[in-house]
């Protein structure tokens, strides 16, 4: 991967080659080592070293963008030439974009050197083998452990520079029993104290032990306890369909026309906060704008939205620094943090007379974005709770629910929060206990 000095050289070269044009350059340079395991055996080690240079040239209401992985002078020169040449063929956009002009420099680092030795190829193999050795005969485990380092940089033709260096570990583990029942756990962090790989193995293993002889129950409304992974799944889709200025402008957001209204339980506060160490702490966006902390929901009330430059211009506001270089989406929150509650997950379970404990969801989809109706299947552990105790496993089911209903029917929020993976970025969320959560069908597994 490339260091800061080499990346800045690339940016300066591109800007010089595009002299006379409003030019911005985005560089992603990363390396990643990944170890996969299946059927309780390590079966693949992968190492990737990749640098991508994204060149954008602005001319009036037109913007021409070229991405290349060829960053020698010849490759960069060809990319600049293509970007300039394409301008004459491109239609005008709705607004005229400009280059970010302040502050002149943002440089930051969220890098933990200790991870280099703990999660190198030997370290990853050692940890995975320790986890595999926990399992009794009849259990198999599957998953992946990766360690990545990324440098992200931005520069433009009016002298603005941005640079961020970070590293991160991601781990996911599934354990299955001989009957096909599964348990799952996930970790994402760059802080060694948060990366208890063996502890994650144990969580998945215990769930697999419990996930036997699942009972079939009738579809209908149930009290559910959604573990943080399941809450993160919901928030990922809610952010995608509803938390940006562009989604409201396009009248596809469930927040359209609701600013200042109370739409959720008063205990629900959701903030996009890049300064929270449990999220992706990138301090600028793909247009170079400083990322802002944005309160989206406060005590159940709709407050603000996230913006890229184009959507901000349309609403007559400033960009909040949430561009992800996907013009059709506009801004996207990458760092959602939900306020914690005052009960432990164990206390919430003990207080539940009759309910279901949900590990996570998959195959989620949007039924109606304006009504915030989502649907998905449960996965890797649904457990029946009676009189405050888990009494058995339940077959997977499909839910179909409006998030207006779900987040208004919150009974309890856990003290514990967990970092979860979104489409882009990381969230930090608690478990939620929700009444009348609607399941609409059973599955065959």
User: Distance of CA 280 to CAs 110, 134, 225, 244, Å?
Assistant: 9, 32, 26, 18
- Within a 10 A sphere around the Cβ of 251, how many other Cβ atoms? 10
Position 300 scores a pLDDT of 99
What CA–CA distance (Å, rounded) separates 182 from 176?
Answer: 4
Phi, psi of 125 (to 5 degrees): -65, -40
CB 290 within 8 A of CB 312: no
Between vectors from CA 297 to CA 293 and to CA 298, what angle results, nearest 5°? 90
In this structure, what token pair is assigned to residue 44? 């693949």
pLDDT at position 326: 87
Give me the residues paired with residue 142 across strands: 174
Handedness of CA 12, 15, 16, 17 (dihedral sign): positive
> What is the distance between the alpha carbons of residues 174 and 53, in angstroms, rounded to a whole number?
36
Domain with CATH 3.30.2290.10 in the chain: 4-208
Alpha-carbon dihedral 280, 282, 287, 292, rounded to 10 degrees: 90
Cα gap 14→74, rounded to integer Å: 11
The 3-class secondary structure across 212-261, one letter per residue, is: CCCECCCCEEEEEEECHHHHHHHHHHHHHHHCEHHHHHCCCCCCCCCCCC
Confidence (pLDDT) at 308: 98
Distances (CA, A) of 65 to 154, 325, 353, 385, 436: 14, 10, 57, 54, 48
Residue 132: predicted pLDDT: 98
- Give the tokens for residue 74: 């010849």
pTM of the model: 0.96
Overall fold of domain 4-208? PmbA/TldD fold (3.30.2290)
**pLDDT tens, residue by residue, 30-67:** 999 999 999 999 999 999 999 999 999 999 999 999 99
Q: What is the mean pLDDT of the chain?
A: 97
Residues near 213 by beta carbon (within 8 Å), at least 6 away in sequence: 179, 392, 393
* pLDDT tens digit sequence for 311-335: 999 999 999 999 999 888 889 999 9
Question: Distances from the Cα of 39 to the Cαs of 43, 52, 138, in angstroms?
Answer: 9, 35, 11
pLDDT digits (tens, 9 = 90+) for 77-127: 999 999 999 999 999 999 999 999 999 999 999 999 999 999 999 999 999
Q: How far apart are CA 305 and CA 239, in angstroms?
A: 10
Q: How far apart are CA 276 and CA 186, in angstroms?
A: 19
- The confidence score (pLDDT) of residue 13 equals 99
CA 337-341-342 angle, to 5 degrees, is: 150
Whether pLDDT at 444 is above 80: no
**C-alpha to C-alpha distances, 279 to 194, 273, 323, 432, nearest whole angstrom:** 13, 8, 17, 20
Residue 445: what pLDDT?
60
User: Helical H runs in 290-438?
Assistant: 309-315, 345-350, 403-408
pLDDT tens, residue by residue, 64-84: 999 999 999 999 999 999 999
Contact 192, 324 (CB under 8 A): no
Q: Tell me: the pLDDT tens digits for 169-223?
A: 999 999 999 999 999 999 999 999 999 999 999 999 999 999 999 999 999 999 9
Q: Note the pLDDT of residue 318.
A: 97
- Looking at residue 320, its pLDDT comes to 98
């Amino acid at each position: 991967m490339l260091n800061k000095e080499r990346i800045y050289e690339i940016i300066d070269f591109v800007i010089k080659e595009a002299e006379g044009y409003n030019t911005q350059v985005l560089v992603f340079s990363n390396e990643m080592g990944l170890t996969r395991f299946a059927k309780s055996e390590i079966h693949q080690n992968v190492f990737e070293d990749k640098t991508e240079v994204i060149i954008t040239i602005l001319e009036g209401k037109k913007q021409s963008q070229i991405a290349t992985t060829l960053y020698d002078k010849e490759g960069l020169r060809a990319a600049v030439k293509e970007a300039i040449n394409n301008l004459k063929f491109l239609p005008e956009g709705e607004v005229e974009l400009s280059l970010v002009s302040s502050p002149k420099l943002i440089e930051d680092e969220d890098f933990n050197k200790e991870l280099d030795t703990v999660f190198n190829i030997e370290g990853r193999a050692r940890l995975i083998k320790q986890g595999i050795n926990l399992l009794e005969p009849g259990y198999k485990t599957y998953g992946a452990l990766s360690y990545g380092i990324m440098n992200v940089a931005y520069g433009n033709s009016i002298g603005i520079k941005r640079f961020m260096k970070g590293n991160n570990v991601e781990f996911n583990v599934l354990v299955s029993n001989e009957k096909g029942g599964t348990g799952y756990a996930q970790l994402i962090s760059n802080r060694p104290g948060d990366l208890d790989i063996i502890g994650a193995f144990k969580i998945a293993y215990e769930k697999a032990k419990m996930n036997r002889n699942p009972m079939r129950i009738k579809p209908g409304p149930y009290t559910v306890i959604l573990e943080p992974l399941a809450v993160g799944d919901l928030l990922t889709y809610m952010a995608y369909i509803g938390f940006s200025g562009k989604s409201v402008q396009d009248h596809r957001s469930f927040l359209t026309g609701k600013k200042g209204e109370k739409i959720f339980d008063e205990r629900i506060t959701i903030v996009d906060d890049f300064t929270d160490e449990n999220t992706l702490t990138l301090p600028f966006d793909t247009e170079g704008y400083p990322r802002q902390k944005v309160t989206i929901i406060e005590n159940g009330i709709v407050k603000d939205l996230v913006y890229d430059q184009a959507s901000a211009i349309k609403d007559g506001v400033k960009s909040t620094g949430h561009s992800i270089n996907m013009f059709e989406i506009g801004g996207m929150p990458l760092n959602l943090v939900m306020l914690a509650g005052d009960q432990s997950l164990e206390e919430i379970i003990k207080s539940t007379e009759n309910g279901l404990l949900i590990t996570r969801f998959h195959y989620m989809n949007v039924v109606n974005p304006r009504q915030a109706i989502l649907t998905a299947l449960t996965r890797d552990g649904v457990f029946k709770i009676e009189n405050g105790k888990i009494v058995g496993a339940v077959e997977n089911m499909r839910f179909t629910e409006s998030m207006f209903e779900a987040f208004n029917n919150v009974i309890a929020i856990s003290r514990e929060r967990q970092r979860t993976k979104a489409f882009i970025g990381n969230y930090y969320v608690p478990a939620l206990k929700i009444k009348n959560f609607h399941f609409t069908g059973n599955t065959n597994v």
